[in-house]
Amino acid sequence: MMEKERKEEKYSDSQPLSENRKSRSKIWKQYIIIIAVLLVLSAAAGMLVKLNTSDVTAVSGQVAVIYEGQQAASFDLDAVKAMNSVEIKKHIESGSGEDEDGVFTGTDLSSVIEAAGIELTGKEKDILIRTQDGFTASFEPEEVMADSCVLLVYEKDGRPLGSMEEGGNGPFRIIAADDAFGMRCAKYVTAIEVE
């Protein structure tokens, strides 16, 4: 009788062991799936970073205009100031709570692109704004072609914006006149890319 009880005990003890192995196997499969998903997401993030960067090297104090992947022109502050000047009074609402008001002076972004020898037709895919700190803003060609809608500015309230190194917001900045929020009012602009 004792032997029969021992066999039943062994049998009942081995049952949880088998279930335990199945449970561990299931957990390992889940870990492998999680690791595979993380690897795929990492690769996708790397591709997005690559797509979001330009091969053109930024020159301090200048803004480059890029067309079809090649630098078409580069303008310093004096060259941009020599273009048609526009002033706009703007309240920029920020998600960080650092709202900003001022009279901004600059030129239509379309004038800068045209000065680089590029004629906007409205058939372009996007106009990308790239900044010194890695930020990218995107505009539709129609927005850029509209008068005084998107400006490349260099002054606020009659004073130069100043560079990032000087604690400023420039020397160039984008002001989107029709945007209620400041998400596309990019600071530290280094490149305008026409796609």
Phi, psi angles (nearest 5°) of residue 150: -125, 120
For a pLDDT cut of 90, what percent of the chain falls above it?
A: 55
| Single pTM value for the model | 0.71
Compute the average pLDDT of residues 158-185: 92
pLDDT at 89: 95
Token couple for 91: 């309240």
Compute the average pLDDT of residues 62-81: 94
- Listed residue (137, 134, 119) closest to 183, CA to CA: 137
pLDDT at 186: 94
Using CA atoms, how far residue 78 sits from 11, 75, 147, 160, 195, in Å, is: 89, 8, 22, 12, 26
Compute the average pLDDT of residues 124-140: 93
Which stretch of 47-51, 117-121, 153-157 has the lowest confidence by average pLDDT? 47-51
